[in-house]
Amino acid sequence: MYGQTLTPLQRRQGRELRRRSNRLATQIARIWRRSDTTSIDEMLRTAVPQIVAAVRAVQMMTVEDALALTQPIMERFDDTSYAPAYVADVRAWAGWNGNGQPVGAMLMESRAHATRALDMGLSLDVAKARVRSNLVTIARTCVADTQRSASMVAAKACSTQSLPIRVLNPPSCARCVILAGTSSGGFERHPNCDCTFIWAKDAPDEAYTSPDLYLETLSDDELARVLGSKANARAYKDGADLNQLVNAYRRKGSVQSAQWGGRRIKYTLEGTTRRGAASSRMIASGYANDYTKLGGRYTRVDRPRLMPETIYESCARTGRDPRAMLAAYGWIL
């Protein structure tokens, strides 16, 4: 499992969660096709009750799995036996999403995706496809939330001292990778995220939830895919800070292209404010002069923060040391 030495039960749980989610996505696509008419509202009225029934069935299987496996997984990591203080009702999660809202109501809100598509002048077929995609995303996220919630309930029945330790269910995206191994009461996740928790009193060394331990097991192509580009993967191997690389894309539009000095460059806005990790380094190294407000909410350095791709291109052309330049732009800390 990509370098994570988890228990066989934990690996099985991750695989089964993804299989169920994939089967559910296929089932939803089939229901949507069978409901096809010229009216998206009518399609939703026909399809949503069937999708809710399918989601409920998968949720109950997922809860049964989580309730059955959480205790033995904890006993393996904590090296002790537990006697659960209570047994949860598997039906309690069926039909509800991770925020406690009815699944059916969430699915019906997919209508907004069709409205936006049609308002943009897109075809009815495109609008239908966007609704279907959102229905699948809602269902997948709901099932994953169910697994995490049920495992929490099962864990607390065994020990109120146990902590949730985030583990990956590879292949994983960069945003999830940098959160691996964190322990908190909340769970940051994107749509379709199927990362899980290990519940244990202490972070088990053998769980290997460390981002670096995961990334070290990937091939060059896999690493480039996770980090967004071959240049980012090379920068990571050259010592760039993982959080800096991933957070460069934190907001939509953070990474941009422009003409600068007669050449096409790629740069990011992240880390360039007064509080940013990169801005002070850029000024200290002479790559920027001062802070300025060019519009928008924040005061930023007066030069673009070059992405690794542009840095390597520049160094290949000028003969400069790429590691020194990566440090000057706040990639190597």
d(CA 219, CA 323): 22
d(CA 189, CA 148): 11
Q: Provide the pLDDT for residue 311.
A: 97
Alpha-helix runs per DSSP H in the chain = 8-34, 40-78, 103-108, 111-119, 124-158, 174-177, 211-215, 220-227, 230-237, 242-247, 277-285, 308-318, 322-328
Domain-embedded: residue 98:
yes
Domain-embedded: residue 24:
yes
Do 26 and 130 sit in the same domain of this protein?
A: yes
Please give the single-letter amino acid code of residue 81.
S
Domain boundary among 157, 177, 201: 157
Q: Provide the pLDDT for residue 202.
A: 67
Do 40 and 151 sit in the same domain of this protein?
A: yes
Q: Provide the pLDDT for residue 312.
A: 97
Q: For the chain, what is the domain count?
A: 2
Domain-embedded: residue 322:
yes
Q: Provide the pLDDT for residue 196.
A: 80
Domain-embedded: residue 202:
no
Q: Provide the pLDDT for residue 208.
A: 46
Q: Which of 285, 327, 286, 287 is nearest to 304 (CA)?
A: 287
> How does residue 2 score in pLDDT terms, banded at 50, 70 and 90?
very low
Q: Provide the pLDDT for residue 199.
A: 84
Range of the domain at 306: 229-328
> How does residue 328 score in pLDDT terms, banded at 50, 70 and 90?
very high
Domain-embedded: residue 219:
no
Q: Is the pLDDT of residue 169 over 90?
A: no
d(CA 63, CA 149): 9
Q: Provide the pLDDT for residue 176.
A: 86
Average per-residue pLDDT for the chain: 89
Domain-embedded: residue 288:
yes
Q: Provide the pLDDT for residue 298.
A: 81
d(CA 237, CA 135): 39
Q: Provide the pLDDT for residue 185.
A: 61
Q: Is the pLDDT of residue 211 over 90?
A: no
Higher pLDDT, residue 318 or 196: 318
> How does residue 205 score in pLDDT terms, banded at 50, 70 and 90?
low
The pLDDT of 55-63, averaged and rounded, is 97
Domain-embedded: residue 193:
no
Domain-embedded: residue 178:
no
Domain boundary among 157, 180, 210: 157
Domain boundary among 112, 134, 157: 157
Q: Provide the pLDDT for residue 209.
A: 61
**174-188, 229-243, 278-292: which is most confident:** 229-243
> How does residue 203 score in pLDDT terms, banded at 50, 70 and 90?
low
Reduced to 3 states (helix: H, G, I; strand: E, B; else coil), residue 198 is strand
The pLDDT of 158-172, averaged and rounded, is 84
d(CA 253, CA 296): 13
Do 110 and 245 sit in the same domain of this protein?
A: no
Higher pLDDT, residue 173 or 320: 320
d(CA 34, CA 30): 6
C-alpha triplet 138, 142, 144: angle, nearest 5°? 125
To the nearest 10 degrees (0 to 180), the angle between helices 230-237 and 308-318 is 80
Q: Is the pLDDT of residue 206 over 90?
A: no
The pLDDT of 148-156, averaged and rounded, is 93
